Amino acid sequence: MSNQIYLPSNASKARHREAENARKNRVEIVKAWSQGQVSRRELFKWALFTTPGVLAPIRGLNLFVGSAYGDSIPTGAPLSPLFGVKPFTQPVPRFDVLPRNPVSSLNPGKNIELISKKLGLYAEPDPSDRDGHAPAVLIGNERTGQWIRNSALDNPRYLAVMIGDWLNSWKAGSHHAKSYAEAPRLSITDRGQYIFATQCAACHSIGRGDKIGPDLQGVTKVRDRAWLSHLIQTPDKMLIEKDPVATVLFEKYQQVNMPNLRLGDVDANAGLNSLETSSSQKAGVINTTGTER
197 and 271 in a common domain: yes
Q: So what's the pLDDT on residue 55?
A: 74
Residues 16 and 45 in one domain: yes
Higher pLDDT, 104 or 26: 26
Least confident of 105-119, 136-150, 189-203, 269-283: 105-119
Provide the total of helices (H) and of strands (E) in the chain, helices listed first.
10, 2
Can you give the pLDDT at residue 83? Answer: 57
What pLDDT sits at residue 292?
47
- Distance separating alpha carbons of residues 170 and 144, to the nearest angstrom: 12
Whether residues 249 and 195 fall in one domain: yes
The pLDDT value recorded for residue 75 is 53
Are 212 and 273 in the same domain? Answer: yes
Write down which residue in 33, 48, 70 finishes a domain. Answer: 70
In the chain, % of residues over pLDDT 90? 15
- 112 lies in a domain? no
pLDDT band at 293 (very low <50, low <70, confident <90, very high): very low
3-class secondary-structure state, position 123: coil
- Give me the CATH number covering residue 228: 1.10.760.10
- Choosing from 19, 52, 70, the residue where a domain stops is 70
pLDDT at residue 233 is higher than 90: yes
Q: Is the pLDDT of residue 27 over 80?
A: yes
Does any domain span residue 184?
Answer: no
Residue 214 has pLDDT above 70, yes or no: yes
Distance CA 70, CA 24 (A): 21
Residues 6 or more apart whose Cβ sits within 8 Å of residue 76: 18, 19, 22, 23, 26, 60, 61, 62, 63, 65
Alpha carbon distance 153, 155 (integer Å): 7
Task: Give the whole-angstrom CA distance, residue 239 versus residue 245.
Answer: 9
Query: What's the full length of the chain, in residues?
Result: 293
Contacts of 72 (CB under 8 A, 6+ apart): 1, 2, 4, 66
Asked if residue 272 and residue 214 are part of one domain, the reply reads yes
Is the pLDDT score of 150 beyond 50?
Answer: yes
Domain match, 269 and 200 both: yes
pLDDT number for residue 287: 45
194 pLDDT above the threshold of 60:
yes
Nearest residue to 6 via CA among 54, 59, 61, 78: 78
**Which has the minimum average pLDDT: 15-24, 239-248, 267-276?**
15-24
| Cβ atoms of 113 and 122 closer than 8 Å | yes
Amino acid at 182: E
Kindly tell me if the per-residue pLDDT of 230 is higher than 90.
yes
Question: Residues of 219-241 as b/e, b for ≥16 C-beta within 10 angstroms?
Answer: bbeeeeeeebbbbbbbbeebbee
Structural domain total, the chain: 3
- Give residue 277's pLDDT band: very low, low, confident or very high (50, 70, 90): confident
Q: What is the pTM of this model?
A: 0.39
Nearest in space to 55 (alpha carbons), one of 45, 43, 72: 43
Question: Considering the domain boundaries, does residue 95 fall inside one?
Answer: no
Based on its alpha-carbon atoms, the radius of gyration of the chain, rounded to whole angstroms, reads: 26
Are both 157 and 198 inside the same structural domain? no
Statement to judge: residues 276 and 218 lie in one domain: yes
- What's the confidence (pLDDT) of residue 1? 41
In a domain, 34, yes or no: yes
Summarize pLDDT for 252-275 with one digit per residue, the tens. 998 888 888 888 999 999 999 988
Average pLDDT taken over every residue of the chain:
75
How far from 90 is each of 84, 95, 97, 98, CA to CA, in Å? Answer: 18, 16, 16, 15
Range of the domain at 15: 1-70
Q: Which of 40, 70, 100 is the last residue of a domain?
A: 70
**Is residue 246 included in any domain, yes or no?**
yes
Is 113 among the domain residues? no
Mean per-residue pLDDT, 91-103: 65
Is 1 part of a structural domain of the chain? yes
pLDDT at 288: 44
Burial class (CB in 10 A: 0-12, 13-18, 19+), 271: buried
Domain assignment of residue 224, yes or no: yes
Q: 74 or 142: whose pLDDT is higher?
A: 142
Q: How far apart are CA 140 and CA 169, in angstroms?
A: 11
Same domain membership, residue 208 and residue 158: no
